[in-house]
Each structure stands twice: as C-alpha cells, then as structure tokens.
Structure 1
Amino acid sequence: MTAMVSPTSWSATDPFAELDSVVAQSHQTHEQKLEEFYAYVNQYLDEYEQWRDEYTAKLDAEKAKHIENWGTGDVSDQTTSVEYSDNDAVKKVIDYENNTATISVLVPADTSDAEAEKQLDTLSVDLDGDKLAMTDAQISQQEVDYSAEQERKEYNFIVEQTEAQMNELDNQAERLIHTNTGIPDSFIYERAYKKKMALVTDAQERVKKLRALYKAKRAELGIPEPVAESAQSTASEQALETTEQTAQAPAQVSPSEEQQTAALPASPVAEQTDEQTAKIPAPAEQESAKPAEIEPKQTAQAAPKPTTTPKPMKVVSYTIKLPEGSLKKRAEQYRPMAETESKQFDVNPALVMAIMHSESSFRPDATSHVPAYGLMQVVPSSAGYDVNRTIRNIDAPMEADELYQPPVNVETGTAYLHILNDKYLSAIKDDKSRTFCTIAAYNTGAGNVARAFNPDHSTNIRQAADIINSMSSDEVYQHLIDNLPYDETKNYLKKVSSRMALYQ
C-alpha cells in the first residue's frame, strides 16, 4: 500500500522524492486510492483511541493503588470529586449529585471512637474557595473490605466503562456516515465492530488483573476466598451480556443507505465457537472458568496466611451536607453563557442548563471515564468532532484542554444540541417529542434512539421518525424509558427532563 504524502516530508537526501511520490500516486488505481484513504481515516481515528486507551490504563493504575489500601478504588467522575493525601491515608469526596462532602481516614482497627473523633478539628473541605469545617459531621466506620462484593463493584466499573466506550464508537460510526465522507458504511461499521471487540478483549485482561489484586490482598490478610457463584445471575453479569451482545452485533446498514454502499459482511462472531466468543469474566469465578467443576457442597477455604499478617485497618468517615444554595451559586455563574449560546443556536436555554446540571453539576473541570470533558461533558472525537466539522469548518476532533474552557465547552455542547435537533432528529415533528429524543441522543447518540423505535433495531432515524410521529410526546417518553439500550441513558432522560423546570 502506498504511503500518504505529508506536505512536510521533504527529503534532504533526495529533493525530488516528494515529487516522485506524487507522480506515483497519480498512477494509482481507484482501488489503491480507496485503500489508502481508508488507511488514512483508520490511522486518524486510531490516534484518539490510542490516547483513550492510555487514559484507561493510567486510571486502572490509580485505582489499583487505592484498592491496595482502601479495598476500593474510588476516583473522580463527572459529578464526584475524589482526592487522596500524598500517603494515601486520607480521602476527600465531594458528591455534587447528593450534595455531601465526606472525609475518610485510614486508622488501625483498634483505634477508639474518642481517638478517631479527635481528628475532626483538623479536617476541612474546600468548596468553591470556601473552607467547610467537619466539626458537625456524621461519623461512621467500617473495616477495610476486600470482599467479593467490593470486588464486584470494581468489576462493574470496568463493564460500565467498556459499555460507554463502545457506545462512543457507535456514535463515531454514525457521525462518519451522516457526514458523507465517501467511505462505505460497511467499512465504518466493520471498523467500529473490530474496535469494540478489542475493548472487550482489553476488559478481559483488566478483570484478570483486578481479580489477582483482590486475591493477593485476601491471601495477605488471611481472608477466605469466596466460593464461585456459577449458577447465580447477578446484575453485573446481565450488564456483561449486554456488553457482549453490543460488541458482537455491528450496527446494520439502514435501508435508506443500502443503495449507496455495499452490505456489511456477516459478523465473524456468528461463526465462532463458545470458546472463541469474547467474554469478560465475572469476579469470584475460578481461574479455569469452568463452573461445572465446582462441587455443589464446596465450602470456602481460608487462604494461607503470610508469615507476618499486616495489622487490620478500618476507615473512619466524617460526612457533612454541603451548604444550601451551593449548586445554585455555580449554576448562576454559567447561566449567561447558556443564554448567549442558546440564542445563537436556537436551543432552549433551560435544556442547556439542565444538561450542565446533570452532566457536571456545573463543574468546568469535570471528567468522566469515557472520557468526556467539562461543563457539558463533550467527547472530543464524537460531539466535539461533529461541531468542529459542521459549525467551525475544522475537520478534526477537539482537544481536552479546549473543553475545560467554559465558553468553548458551552458553545460546543449547545451547538451539538442544535445539530441533533435540527439535523439528525429534524424529521420528528412534535417539539416535545423531539426534545425527549434530543436529550437521549446527547447521552447515547441518535443511532441508539432510532434503535429504540425501529422493529429491526436499525439506526435509520427517518424510519424511526415515522413511528415517533404516530405517538404522543408522553408515549415517546415512555417508549424511550422502556426501550433505550442502556440504563444510564434512561436515568439521564429522567434527570434532564425533570430538571428543565428548574431553569425555565
């Protein structure tokens, strides 16, 4: 395959190398040019995905460090701020969704309540530049926990993050199709499928490392290993099934697009044996992953204790309610931006404010684990790219640093709402129905909204619009709640819809 020519690739040893390359390109066949273009697009998208993978690996390393000491790997997300002391012995958590602040301290398990309470006078939380004392805090304590339940919590984090990242690959594919790049839909869908399968494979390795970490800590502390629950259907295993199905079933070409592109080849997963099918192992399973070998009456065996058992630790937590009006104070700071951008893009400002509230609790430095950034939680390679190309005439994703700037972030998020409302979902006639669909699409993409309505689960939004237009807005809302593929999006639709009334 011929390499792409860079404008800056001038050769010092052969001044005519670039010219020769251009001449060679002019003699390429149509098939060679297409192959080269596809490789260019693939490499272009790979750059962001490589960065995402590096971000995920760094996050896993951070969580593993905290699991070592705390039994859990709490980290910041879009609505929660988590900070640790340099020695990892103190954890500060501000939960903006539930309006609480908690400081937790690791202490020896034999520390008395009186000794633990002495720390209150020295503890405080910074909130929007103000120091909040913990003297009136509610106190609770628990032993550092390396149980199967705690392990499953961390396992669920990996499953949910993988689902969210796979959903973004679908969004990216839909964006490429709707922007008419000239690339066949089959190429785009197949690429998304392969990338999703790679995410599942990576998640397998992440879960193995997680399991090994918990197993090692239980052995170190002399905690019995939990018995594998092979027959029990758990919430996380059900989530896993959704993850696998999503990865194994690439979106099909919509009927309206079949005339313009070759059909997507049959998924190779259909030809796989059970052993070949990708699966993220659930926690507390045997390493052999063969539940049939587990005896029905098997009892948990204590792990061999190390020569010197570490001293047991416990977590003492101090929790206060955040001052009333703190969220409102942050909201008012960004209302002028929301109103300015809403006017520019003809979007309801109450919708912009409700999305900021739900996405980040009005925190410009918020980062989710997709990752998405800032006040309106924009993903650089999907919504950010869509706005760059459609509004700014820039054919490139956005940068994280840009999205941490409130004016840029609010402009981008509002412009994306405009694109969803006026472009992708414009065939929906009723304003209220279209708003419900726009809210859902902001979280999960227009393709998943279409799938919720189309009997064949295609991403054809015009086909879905015919169905939507035959329903009342209340019926549309309920249908979305009942049929959207992810619980996160269902909850998101509920939160944003209800919060719009706060900003009317």
Structure 2
Amino acid sequence: MKKTNIALAILSVLLCTSAGASSDGFSQLDQEVSKLHQPKEEKYKEFYQYLNKYLDEYEAWRDEYTQQIDTEKRDLISQWGEGAISDQSTQVDYSQDNKVRTQIDYETNTAVVSVLINEDENNSDAESLLDSKNIEVDGALVSIEVDKPSVQAITYSRESELKERAFIINQTKAQMNDLDVRAERLIRSAIGIPDSFIYERAHNQKMALLSKAKIRVEKLTKLYSEMRLAHGITTVEQDSAKGVSTIKSEQKKQAVDVAKVTKTKAEPVKSKAPTTPDIVKPVTPAPIKTVAVSDTKTKPVVSNTAMKVVSYKVKLPENSLKTRAKKFSSLAEKEGETWKVDPALVMAIMHSESSFRPEAKSHIPAFGLMQIVPSSAGHDVNKQVRHIDSPMKAKDLYVPAINVETGSAYLNILNSKYLRSIKDDKSRLYCVISAYNTGAGNVAKAFNTNRSTSVNKAAKIINSMSSDEVYNHLINNLPYDETKNYLKKVNSRIALYKQ
C-alpha cells in the first residue's frame, strides 16, 4: 500500500511538472514522499490545527453576522424603542428613512403597518407617510385599515428592554445548540479525533458565546438607560442584572455538563488517536472587537423630540398559509418518496420552521423552507449524501428544491442511522422531530442520567418505555424549551398534511 501511495505521489508530481521546472518538481516530490513517512503524531497534530482553523472561520463569520444584527437593532431601538427585525416566521420591512415599518407575522397570519411621527403631530399626519393604502402579501394586494389606528408613545419601556434582552439570550442558546450538533456530527463521523478534543472545543466555544452575550446584554442596558435619560423618561428601579445573571447561570450549567461528560466514557470511534498535543489544545477565540455604545462612531442619534407610533392593522386572507403550502406539497411528496420519509412530516416541519417561506432566515442563522443550518444538517447531508466534506452555502438553501431535498435527507439520516436503535416507530418519530431541531445528542441527554450523548445508551431506556411515555419524557427533559415547543408544534401539525 505504501509503495502504491508513493507511486501515485510521483505520478501526480510528474504530470504537473514541465520540462523547464524539473528541479521544482523534484522538490515537490520530496515533500510528498516526506508526508507519506510522517509520524502519526505529526499527522494528527496537523489535522487538529486544520480542524481548529476550519471551525474558527465559520465561528468568526457567525460572530460577524451577530454583530451586524446588534448594530441594526441598536439603530432601530434608538428610533422606535424596540429592534423589530425579520426572522423565520416574521417579515419586517422599513421604508421612508425607517419611519414606516411593515410587519407580517406568517405564524399568526397577521400584519401591522406602523408609522413613526412626532408626539405633537396629528395621527392623520401618519397616514400621509404611507406609500399606499395597500401592501403586497404572497403576491396579492391587501388593504391597510387606516380608519382604526392605535397610538403608542415611545418610552423605551422596561418591557421592550426585557424583550430585546430575551432575544440575545435565546439567540445565544440557539447558537450553543448548534455547537452541540456540530460536535456530535464530528464524533459520529469517526474521523480519528478523540471525543475529548471535540467536547472540550465545543465547551470552550459555548463559554465564549456566553461571555459575549453578557457584554451584549450590558450594552443593551446601557443603550436603554441613555435613551431614557436623553428623553427625560424616569422608570421604577430596575433589576438590570437579570439578563446577566441568566447568562451566568447558564455558564455554571455548561461547566457542570462538561464535567459530567468528561467523566463518562465517550461513544467509541472507529480509529484511535493520540492524546491532543498541548500545542493544539482548543483555545477560546478572542471576542471580536466591538465598539461601546457610548463611543462617537456608534452613539445613537438622539432627538429631544418625543415620538409616537401610529399603527394600522392589515386584514390578511384566511387561506394564505394553505396557498403557500400547496406550492410545495408535490416537492414534499417527491423527496419523501426518495428518502423514505413521511411527506406529512416534511410538510409539518416546513410549516413550523418557515410557514412555507423559501426566503426565511433565522438568527442562528438557518435558511429556507426547512431552516437548514449550513454547518450542521447541511454539512451532514453534504458529506453522507453528496460526498462533499464542507458546509452548504446559504444561497443554495434558498432554492426550494435543494432545501427540501436536504431537509428530507437529514430526516432520513436521523431515522435510519443516528436513531435507528430505537425500535418503536412512534417513539423514534418523536425523537427524530426533536433531533431535527436540537441534534440526536441532546435527545440522548434527555434520557441518560449522566447527560451522556450516547444514543445507544438512551435507546435502551427508550425501548423500555411506551411511545406516550417517550413523548412526555422529551417534553419534560429536553435541554432547550424551544425544542420542547417544537416537538409539540410539529407533532400536532402532521395530521394536517396526511392524505
């Protein structure tokens, strides 16, 4: 085998070497032959370094994306008292220099158009800023009910501040969950890296996210305080440390979890590797530099004029969701048949993830109809199905055919590979739905008393329970509240799409 590898290396170099560059060719040949004889320890060390760099690049992109959201929300809070932006179920658009806001909530099938005006202006002045008395929803014009406006003064309220604080905490939890899923994917890939290295790196990254979240919450609190002060608004005494204490509590929980995991024998991998060399132990990346709210370049522009918001309801067609769903039912049928997945499950997930909107994007970020995260589910499908060892591209996930193919293939991977040791079909379905949102490892954690991510250990417990007991146990013990609610929503919606 070694002779074959050397021969291939020689052939590769000779094919790429011109007659005038023979010395360079022989130098390259020497390097290739040297690599073939490289000690295992050095090969693993190089691979650890490569993996660290590869994951660091994605995490740097995620941090930059998060900073962009924070910047956008800070500017909106300065104007509106709150930072409403689009997510996977809501479309938020601003016009007229950010003085007109259109919010369409596809989950509740409601819409509101709001106009920002001075407090001393007449409510009728708001109507003059509207581009039209109609807005476009799903390709159809629907009317704005301008005769029934509601009016609210901007007070930079405690309620708004807590809502923005919850956004940061929930986004951080979702990103931490993504790190769990990616760690689990690496372990299941059996690429030869010790489980301890993968667990430790994921833990360090989660702690870094929590530290950044603490700074984000503190800046948010400072922004609201500055805005109240600038507008002469007084409030009752605040529990300003509430958000920070929530994050500190999560930090302690993560520390306890990693301690339990490291004491537990990890799920075996196919090949053994030496202990991670000191030189490449995972290092918590330094937080991306951010500018304080009080700095000149980012300080919000504050007007002393009090402002108010005049809002108009929009009556949406009652069949909007059904109309959107029909566009993708045949695609769900096709991919369901290809990947041996119930099309009704595919449809229920599209309903819950994006309300059937191909352009949907969450703040993890995840993309498209089935809200695929490029680095976890997207990478899993790329590697196991398309034989491409890299994350998917966001632009591809906005294409319905690619997105639904990827989501259906991932459901197949969960059902037929990761969770195949669960015998009862209904019990396995509940676990697949949960794992689609939070990863198979977190599903296993819900059943393993030592918080192990071993599905095989969890399956022994699951197989001793009825399907109803499995469902109730998941609802009570899944690590994230979002996943508990997700299981409820998807499970209840499957019946809507049964033929």
Pair 1:311 & 2:305 matched:
yes
The answer to whether the 8 Å contact 2:86/2:92 transfers is yes
Instruction: Please list, as runs of the form range in 1=range in 2, the aligned pairs for 1:220-259 lying within 5 A after superposition.
Output: 220-224=230-234, 227-229=237-239, 237-238=245-246, 241-242=249-250, 244-246=252-254, 249-250=257-258, 252=261, 255=265, 257=267
Pair 1:55 & 2:49 matched:
no
Deviates most, 398-407 or 312-321: 312-321
Secondary structure of 1:485's partner?
coil
Instruction: Please list, as runs of the form range in 1=range in 2, the aligned pairs for 1:147-166 lying within 5 A after superposition.
Output: 147-166=157-176
String of CA shifts for 1:322-380, please: whole Å, max 9, x gaps.
20111101000000000000000100110000000000000000000000000000000
String of CA shifts for 1:4-25, please: whole Å, max 9, x gaps.
x9x9x99x99835544543543
- CA drift at 1:242: 3.4
The answer to whether the 8 Å contact 1:196/1:247 transfers is no
Instruction: Please list, as runs of the form range in 1=range in 2, the aligned pairs for 1:125-164 lying within 5 A after superposition.
Output: 125-135=135-145, 138-164=148-174
Pair 1:333 & 2:323 matched:
no
Deviates most, 192-201 or 344-353: 192-201
Paired position in structure 1 for 2:487: 493
The answer to whether the 8 Å contact 1:121/1:134 transfers is no
| Partner of residue 405 from structure 2, selected from 411, 426, 433 | 411
Paired position in structure 2 for 1:345: 339
String of CA shifts for 1:456-497, please: whole Å, max 9, x gaps.
111111111111111111111111111111111111011000
String of CA shifts for 1:108-152, please: whole Å, max 9, x gaps.
112334544666793322111111111367522211131232222
Shift in alpha-carbon separation, 1:13–1:247, aligned structure 2, 3 A: farther
Secondary structure of 1:94's partner?
strand
| Partner of residue 194 from structure 2, selected from 174, 184, 191 | 184
Rounded Cα–Cα distance in structure 2 between residues aligned with 1:445 and 1:132: 40
Pair 1:442 & 2:449 matched:
no
The answer to whether the 8 Å contact 2:257/2:451 transfers is no
Paired position in structure 2 for 1:368: 362
Give the AA of the match of 1:315. Answer: V
| Partner of residue 209 from structure 2, selected from 199, 211, 215 | 199
Give the AA of the match of 1:175. Answer: R
| Partner of residue 42 from structure 2, selected from 23, 32, 46 | 32
* Ranges in structure 1 where 5+ consecutive residues have no aligned partner: 266-307
Shift in alpha-carbon separation, 1:403–1:256, aligned structure 2, 3 A: same
Pair 1:383 & 2:350 matched:
no
Shift in alpha-carbon separation, 1:220–1:423, aligned structure 2, 3 A: same
Deviates most, 195-204 or 419-428: 195-204
Rounded Cα–Cα distance in structure 2 between residues aligned with 1:487 and 1:235: 17
- CA drift at 1:205: 2.6
- CA drift at 1:226: 5.2
Rounded Cα–Cα distance in structure 1 between residues aligned with 2:83 and 2:124: 28
Pair 1:174 & 2:178 matched:
no
- CA drift at 1:443: 0.5
The answer to whether the 8 Å contact 2:192/2:272 transfers is no
Shift in alpha-carbon separation, 1:200–1:225, aligned structure 2, 3 A: same
Calculate the aligned-residue CA RMSD, in Å: 3.0
Deviates most, 420-429 or 47-56: 47-56
Rounded Cα–Cα distance in structure 2 between residues aligned with 1:152 and 1:397: 35
String of CA shifts for 1:248-299, please: whole Å, max 9, x gaps.
633726646369768999xxxxxxxxxxxxxxxxxxxxxxxxxxxxxxxxxx
Rounded Cα–Cα distance in structure 1 between residues aligned with 2:22 and 2:61: 34
Paired position in structure 2 for 1:420: 414
The answer to whether the 8 Å contact 2:192/2:273 transfers is no
Secondary structure of 1:182's partner?
coil
Pair 1:472 & 2:466 matched:
yes
TM (normalized to structure 2)? Answer: 0.85
Shift in alpha-carbon separation, 1:238–1:203, aligned structure 2, 3 A: closer
Deviates most, 39-48 or 323-332: 39-48
Shift in alpha-carbon separation, 1:433–1:180, aligned structure 2, 3 A: same
The answer to whether the 8 Å contact 2:44/2:273 transfers is no
Rounded Cα–Cα distance in structure 2 between residues aligned with 1:201 and 1:256: 27
What is the identity percentage for the equivalent residue pairs of Structure 1 and Structure 2? 54
Paired position in structure 1 for 2:456: 462
The answer to whether the 8 Å contact 1:120/1:134 transfers is no
Rounded Cα–Cα distance in structure 2 between residues aligned with 1:235 and 1:221: 24
Shift in alpha-carbon separation, 1:151–1:471, aligned structure 2, 3 A: same
The answer to whether the 8 Å contact 1:104/1:318 transfers is yes
Shift in alpha-carbon separation, 1:425–1:236, aligned structure 2, 3 A: farther
String of CA shifts for 1:62-99, please: whole Å, max 9, x gaps.
11111110011111000000011150101100000111
The answer to whether the 8 Å contact 1:186/1:261 transfers is no
Give the AA of the match of 2:344. Answer: A
String of CA shifts for 1:9-66, please: whole Å, max 9, x gaps.
99x9983554454354345332111110111111122222222111111111111111
Rounded Cα–Cα distance in structure 1 between residues aligned with 2:427 and 2:274: 32
Rounded Cα–Cα distance in structure 1 between residues aligned with 2:131 and 2:196: 63
The answer to whether the 8 Å contact 1:385/1:397 transfers is yes
Shift in alpha-carbon separation, 1:13–1:363, aligned structure 2, 3 A: farther
String of CA shifts for 1:216-265, please: whole Å, max 9, x gaps.
212211223653437x9x69855762365236633726646369768999
Give the AA of the match of 1:242. Answer: E
Rounded Cα–Cα distance in structure 2 between residues aligned with 1:35 and 1:92: 53
- CA drift at 1:204: 2.5
* Ranges in structure 2 where 5+ consecutive residues have no aligned partner: 1-8, 277-301
String of CA shifts for 1:393-434, please: whole Å, max 9, x gaps.
111110001100000000000000000011111111111111
Shift in alpha-carbon separation, 1:219–1:455, aligned structure 2, 3 A: same
Secondary structure of 1:189's partner?
helix
| Partner of residue 389 from structure 2, selected from 377, 389, 395 | 395
Rounded Cα–Cα distance in structure 1 between residues aligned with 2:323 and 2:147: 23
Secondary structure of 1:177's partner?
helix
